[in-house]
Structures are given as structure tokens and as C-alpha cells.
Amino acid sequence: MNILAIDTSNQVLGVALLDNENIIGEFVTNLKKNHSVRLMPAVDSLMKEANIAPEQLDKIVVAKGPGSYTGVRIGLATAKTLAWALNVPVVGVSSLEVLSYQGRLSSSYICPFFDARRGMVFTGLYQWENGEMREQQEEKNILMEDWLKQLAAKQKEVLFLSPDIHMYREVILETMGDLTIIPEMPFHLAKPSHLALAGLHKEADSTHNLTPNYLRLAEAEANWLKMQKENNNG
Amino acid sequence: MKKDNYIVGIETSCDETAVAIVKNGREIISNVVASQIESHKRFGGVVPEIASRHHVEQITIVLEEAFEQAAIEWEAIDAITVTEGPGLVGALLIGVNSAKALAFAKQKPLIGVHHIAGHIYANRFEQEFQFPLLALVVSGGHTELVLMKEHGHFEVIGETRDDAAGEAYDKVARMLNLPYPGGPHIDRLASNGEENIKFPRAWLEEGSYDFSFSGLKSSVINTIHNAKQRGEQLKNEDIAASFQASVVEVLTEKTFKAAQQYHAKQVIVAGGVAANQGLRAALQEKFSDTDVSLLIPPLKLCTDNAAMIAAAGTIAYQQGKRSGWDLNANPALLLE
Ligand SMILES: [Zn+2]
């Protein structure tokens, strides 16, 4: 089964081609460049290199966020349309879950996160259990300070994974002390082959209904809801 | 025998998710538009992030509907065309990336199309073009006079230096507490009002085909303010009629002059504001005594749709234009 995995949800651009669990090829960059320009050329060159035609694809897996709203949508628009046109299943995987796979060999809690500005992070808590990456706490958009307090209260070791680790290293160590595990930089980037692996055994999404995992309302909508509430209370 | 061309068009530059299939650039096989207008109404205008969110949710649904309606085999499709710009960048990106995926999956040529070229080519569903052709493009985002000497070649001879005509309509509508989008409401009010307030006409320097509507907009705002301070009550119908008279007169006169100077055989009106009754009537009158053929499209082809993108894309396809897999959304794309 040929699986194409696409991740444009954060700064990393990742494309992987797998035959079941076997990696055929993988393309990863960690550059501040335009995903919209570079995604399809990357897919095209990888598939040409592997001598696989589009109609030989059996499944599309896509990182559905959280992350950059625009980046997530570039990935989803591409993956959904590929799946629809080729009439193959599509699976959306949380970008946090994909990153957690970098902690696959650890038995501790895994905390993947992405910076969401103003001290906020998109994050969740995962742990490898009985052959799968299990979500231990629901993903959320939360102040890092509050989140770390919740984690510290568990009194268990936590493996932190994030491309934005440098922004929060100090506050993590301050709050978590000896319970902190932070690996070297290459472990903080999501791998598209992990995305494919995560999507391999997941049930397919409905192509039409697959939507981004924003973890946050659009600002205009949040403001509008707030105003409605105030009007109702006043 | 020359084979028929079947071209797919995709349009997501603002708040409509649209897919169409067009035969030989002149015959609509299917034309599906999912409008988000209801969703943006509560914000009083199009919110780019909300528009992008809707597009990504709608795109495959609209694709499927367009292909089901067309009942066409993939072998017959010659190319995938898509609005490359101008427009809201986040919104454009959904169409562009979806088009790339579609073209890649089916290994078909991919062609980026200019949104305004689309608006102009919407007229070709009605009548074959005659060159030289002058197009007056008026919409929420554009006010332009475009000269075409042949298919696929566009020369912008005049454009707005500040607000688009449609923008001025929306702003004045807001002043009058009319719901979004304001254009149709002003048009309706104007038909019941009297032109009894003299608002300025921005002719700009002699011989210029450029437009400016910000002065008019300020004048409307000041007039309403001053009347309020004096305790006078102006009739909304009269404000609308007087405002519209200024916009329509400038658009009509400049279009007429340009048509004469460039010996246009055909004048076409394109874009959302082409639906405006006041403008349609004024142009018809102005050109009634000339041998210039005036073409105003039916209302449903004035607003954003994908059939117009496929129509413009058909010419681009026939002229051998192709885009690469690195095609990007270009919010400031120039018409050329
Ligand atoms: Zn338009």
C-alpha cells in the first residue's frame, strides 16, 4: 500500500512516501520559506524519484494542525483534493501527535507543543501505550505557565518536544526541575514518515468533512461571541 | 477536425468557493458557487480568516458537485485553471493548492488566471468578442478600464487611485445603516430618490482615465454630519440617488471617452457593480446612438464565479500558457 504523507502545518515542510511501514522516500526542510510554492514540487520530485505515479497512491495522510492556520490549510486543500481526485482515503493526524512520535522509545509522558504567541502554546500530553501513541490529556491552546503547573503537579517525568523549545526551555526547567527531559534539536522536528505511520492504522476521515485542527477560534469570531455574551448579560 | 476544449475553473479569491467546467470557452457545462455571504454578514464585511476556513471546508464538496453536474469523463478535460490573484491571499491559496493537487492527480496542465480577466471573459458566454474591446471592470475591489486588442492581451488604461467603486458603495451603505453588502440596497434606494444633493465628480486631470472615489465618500459623510448638526433630516433615498448619480456619471463619461479614443468596437461591463441598475441604464443611454456594441452580462455572471475563470483560462490554454507546480497565490497580481 503506497501512502503519501504531507506536513505543512508548521515551519517544517515534510513529504514522505511509504509502502506500508517501509519508507520509500522522505523530504524534510526546516526553512522559513513558502509552503504553497514548494509543496507540490516536493511531492512531484519524490514520486518521480520513486517511480510512482499519482494513481498508484492508496492513501493520503496529512498533518491537520495545530500550527500556522495558512500552512495547515495548504496541506489540507492539497491532501483533500488529491484524495478526492484519486478516489482514495485521506487521514488527518494531529500535528502534536506526529511530533510525539519522536518520543516513541520513551516510556514517560510526552509533551509536544508549538508556540501560539503571547505566552500561549498549542499542546497536549501523550504516552506510548500498548503499541500506540495515546492522548493522555486533550489538546489545547493554553498559557504555557498554567500548563507547566498542571504537568508539575503530576510528579512524573515529562519529555518535551517542540521546534520552539528555545523559547520555553528556562521556564520549563524552573517549573519542572528534575522531571524535565529535553533531547537534542533533531528530535524537536516532526517527521513525515512518522505522520504516515500514525495515519497507517487510523480510520479514514470523510474527505469532505476533514477540517483543520485549529484549537482556536478565528479572532473575529471570538470577538463576536464575546460581544454577544456581553450584550446578553448587559 | 479540431477537438473541443473542456476546461475546469476554480475560484476562491474572496468569499465564494466556486468550480466550473466550460466547453470551448463559451459554453457552461457546470457552474457551482458556494457563497459564504451569510457567514460574513454578522461581521459587516468579509473576514479573511473566516473566508479561508470556509474555503477549505467547501472545496472538495464544490468540486464534486461541479463534476457530477457536468457528468464528464476525466479524459475529456484539457486543463485545470485557477484564480491566481488578485484577492485575499489566504483565500486564493485554497484554490491554488487544490488546483495543483487536481492537476497533479490527473496529470493535466495547470494554468493560473487573473481574476479580472475572468470577469471580462464572463461576457464571452453572451457574445463573441470584437476587437478593439473596452472593458469597464467595477467591483468591490476593482474599478478599471481595460483595453483589449486581441484575445488574452490586456492593457489597463485607467484604474482607481484610492477606493474601488464597490468599496465606496459599501462605506456609504454603512453610513446609512444599510445591511452588508450595501451596493444593491443603495441601488434600490436611489431608484426611489431624487438627485437633489450636488456631490463632487472626480474627473482628475484632462485625458486621464483613472478614477477616485475617496473625495466623494468624504463629501457624503460630511453632508450627513452637517445636516445632523443643523437638525435637518436628509432622506436616505435622496442621499443614495445623489451619491449614485456621481459614481455613475464618472464611470459612464470616462468609459465613453475611452471608447471613442481607442475606436472600440465593443464595450463590456464586468464585475459585481455591473449588476447596478443605475449604471446599466446610464451606459445603455450613453451608447444608444453609437455603433459601439455595449454588452452587459446577466446578473448571475457579474458576481464571482468559476465559469469566468475557465473562460479566460481557455484562451490561456489555447495560447499555450502553462503554470508550474510552484504556482503561488499572488494577491497583487497585475493584469497584462
Ligand atoms: Zn470579482
pLDDT at B2: 66
What predicted TM-score, i.e. pTM, was given to this entire model? Answer: 0.94
Closest in A78, A83, A224 to B100, CB measured:
A78
Distance from the CA of B276 to the center of ligand 1, in angstroms?
15
Q: What value does the mean pLDDT take over residues A169-192?
A: 97
Rounded CA gap, B208 and B204, in Å? 7
In the Cβ-directed half-sphere of B87, how many Cα atoms lie within 13 Å? 28
Domains of chain B: residue spans and CATH: 6-121+302-318 (3.30.420.40), 131-296 (3.30.420.40)
What is the share, in percent, of chain B residues with pLDDT greater than 90?
82
In tens, the pLDDT along B170-186 reads 889 998 999 888 889 99
Query: Residue B102: helix, strand or coil by DSSP?
Result: helix
Rounded CA gap, A201 and A135, in Å? 16
Rounded CA gap, B326 and B206, in Å? 43
Q: B178 with B237: CB under 8 angstroms?
A: no
Provide the 8-state DSSP code for A115: E
Rounded CA gap, B297 and B303, in Å? 10
Rounded CA gap, A73 and A41, in Å? 17
In tens, the pLDDT along A144-154 reads 999 999 999 99
Closest in B50, B57, B90 to A70, CB measured:
B90
Whether residue B87 has pLDDT greater than 90: yes
Cβ <8 Å between B47 and A207:
no
Cβ <8 Å between A85 and B42:
no
Separation in Å, CA of B317 to nearest CA in chain A: 21
pLDDT at B272: 84
Query: Which of B56, B80, B108 is best to mutate for the A interface (most A CBs within 10 A)?
Result: B56
Interface A–B counts its CB contacts (< 8 A) at 106
Query: Residue A118: helix, strand or coil by DSSP?
Result: coil
Phi, psi of B155 (to 5 degrees): -125, 115
Rounded CA gap, B182 and A17, in Å? 50
In tens, the pLDDT along A153-179 reads 999 999 999 999 999 999 999 999 999
In tens, the pLDDT along A77-126 reads 999 999 999 999 999 999 999 999 999 999 999 999 999 999 999 999 99
Extract the C-alpha cell encoding A113. 507543543
Residues whose CB falls within 8 Å of the CB of residue A229, separated by 6 or more in sequence, listed in order: none
Average pLDDT, chain B: 94
**Any A CB within 8 A of B102 CB:** yes
Extract the C-alpha cell encoding B285. 443611454
Distance from the CA of B241 to the center of ligand 1, in angstroms?
25
Whether residue A233 has pLDDT greater than 80: no
Q: Which of A127, A135, A131 is nearest to A110 (CA)?
A: A127
Question: Partners of B146 in the beta sheet?
Answer: B135, B156
Separation in Å, CA of A90 to nearest CA in chain B: 12
Angle at B283 between CA B278 and CA B286, to 5 degrees: 125
Rounded CA gap, B51 and B63, in Å? 17
Whether residue B280 has pLDDT greater than 80: yes
Of the pLDDT bands very low, low, confident and very high (cuts 50, 70, 90), residue B141 is confident
- Rounded to the nearest angstrom, the gap between the alpha carbon of residue B305 and the centroid of all alpha carbons in its chain is 9
pLDDT at A232: 81
Extract the C-alpha cell encoding A73. 490549510
Tell me which of B4 and B140 has the higher pLDDT: B4
Cβ <8 Å between A70 and B52:
yes
Cβ <8 Å between A69 and B57:
no
Taking phi over 0 as left and psi of -120 to 50 as alpha, with beta for the rest, A178 belongs to alpha
Rounded CA gap, B301 and B311, in Å? 12
Is 0.90 exceeded by the ipTM?
yes
Of the pLDDT bands very low, low, confident and very high (cuts 50, 70, 90), residue B273 is confident
Extract the C-alpha cell encoding B59. 472545496
Closest in A36, A80, A85 to B328, CB measured:
A36
Place of cell 479561508: B52
**Any A CB within 8 A of B106 CB:** yes
Place of cell 474572496: B14
In tens, the pLDDT along B95-125 reads 999 999 999 999 999 999 999 999 999 999 9
Whether residue A141 has pLDDT greater than 90: yes
Place of cell 510512482: A52
Of the pLDDT bands very low, low, confident and very high (cuts 50, 70, 90), residue B142 is confident
SS3 track for A55-101: HHCCEEEEECCCCCHHHHHHHHHHHHHHHHHHCCCEEEECHHHHHHH
pLDDT at B43: 87
Extract the C-alpha cell encoding A175. 517549573
**Any B CB within 8 A of A136 CB:** no
Extract the C-alpha cell encoding B64. 464534486
Q: What is the DSSP string of B47-98?
A: -HHHHHHHHHHHHHHHHHHHHHHHT--GGGEEEEEEEEESS-HHHHHHHHHH
What is the share, in percent, of chain A residues with pLDDT greater than 70?
100
Separation in Å, CA of A209 to nearest CA in chain B: 7
Distance from the CA of B115 to the center of ligand 1, in angstroms?
6
Query: What element of type H or E holds A177?
Result: none
Distance from the CA of B265 to the center of ligand 1, in angstroms?
24
Q: What value does the mean pLDDT take over residues B64-85?
A: 97
Whether residue B144 has pLDDT greater than 90: yes
**Any A CB within 8 A of B60 CB:** yes
Rg, chain A, Cα only: 18
Separation in Å, CA of B55 to nearest CA in chain A: 9
Distance from the CA of B49 to the center of ligand 1, in angstroms?
18
In tens, the pLDDT along A50-69 reads 999 999 999 999 999 999 99
**Range list of β-strands (E), chain A:** 2-7, 12-19, 22-30, 59-63, 90-93, 109-115, 120-129, 132-143, 158-161, 180-181
Extract the C-alpha cell encoding A125. 500530553
Cβ <8 Å between A44 and B64:
no
All residues of chain A having their beta carbon less than 8 Å from the beta carbon of residue B328 are 34, 36-37
Distance from the CA of B139 to the center of ligand 1, in angstroms?
6
**Any B CB within 8 A of A38 CB:** yes
